Amino acid sequence: MEYEFTKEDLKEIEKIKAKYPEVMPATLPVLWVAQNRFGHVEPEVQRLVAKTLGLPEAHVHGVATFYTQYYKEKKGKYVLDVCTCLSCQLCGGYDILEHLEKTLGIKKGETTQDGKFTLNEVECLGACGYAPMLQITNDKYINNLTVEKTDKLIDMLKKDEEPEYEEIEMPLRKVK
């Protein structure tokens, strides 16, 4: 497949480049533009970013592969990153991950046959006080997860209804 940025993407990239005295720091935000456009930054997309910025392909590849938020392969429409770091483990993160594997019929690292969901196990998402939690496609955090809350989330996403924060959020636990 031949990847190309749209005119709108190129305008956005020029605005990004204008923010920096050199082009190299623009790599991260331009990779976001690419991922938003194509859904991933597999090697062909990385080459496009390098060419567009006039940077070595090795630099763009190094940045893209360093950060887990950049998808190096095609993913489902909704990428569910379930945190299993210590806080989330202790609060049931693995239980949520296993429940999602059963519910979606896939294992971590896989995508459903219909291309709707990709399920990942990830390290800390930086919201330990709200464990267990997951992130939807590098965007919304859903925290204080329970099986019921997770089922509600999956039902919403199956209908392409992305939850607003307050629709799925539970109040903070009170510390005694």
Q: End of a domain among 16, 42, 66?
A: 66
Q: Which two tokens stand for residue 46?
A: 């990385």
Residues 96 and 160 grouped into a single domain: yes
Q: How confident is the model at residue 139 (pLDDT cuts 50, 70, 90)?
A: confident
Residues 85 and 157 grouped into a single domain: yes
What global pTM score does this model have?
0.77
Residues 96 and 157 grouped into a single domain: yes
Q: What is the pLDDT averaged over residues 101-114?
A: 97
Q: Which two tokens stand for residue 74?
A: 């095609």
Smallest Cα–Cα separation from 131: which of 103, 77, 94, 166? Answer: 94
Q: What is the pLDDT averaged over residues 81-102?
A: 95
Q: How confident is the model at residue 165 (pLDDT cuts 50, 70, 90)?
A: low
Q: What is the pLDDT averaged over residues 75-88?
A: 93
| Enclosing domain of residue 154 | 78-168
Task: Report whether pLDDT(174) > 80.
Answer: no
Question: Which residues have CB under 8 Å from 129's CB, separation 6+?
Answer: 87, 172
Alpha carbon distances (Å) from 46 to 14, 33, 40, 139: 17, 11, 9, 21
Residue 68: what pLDDT? Answer: 80
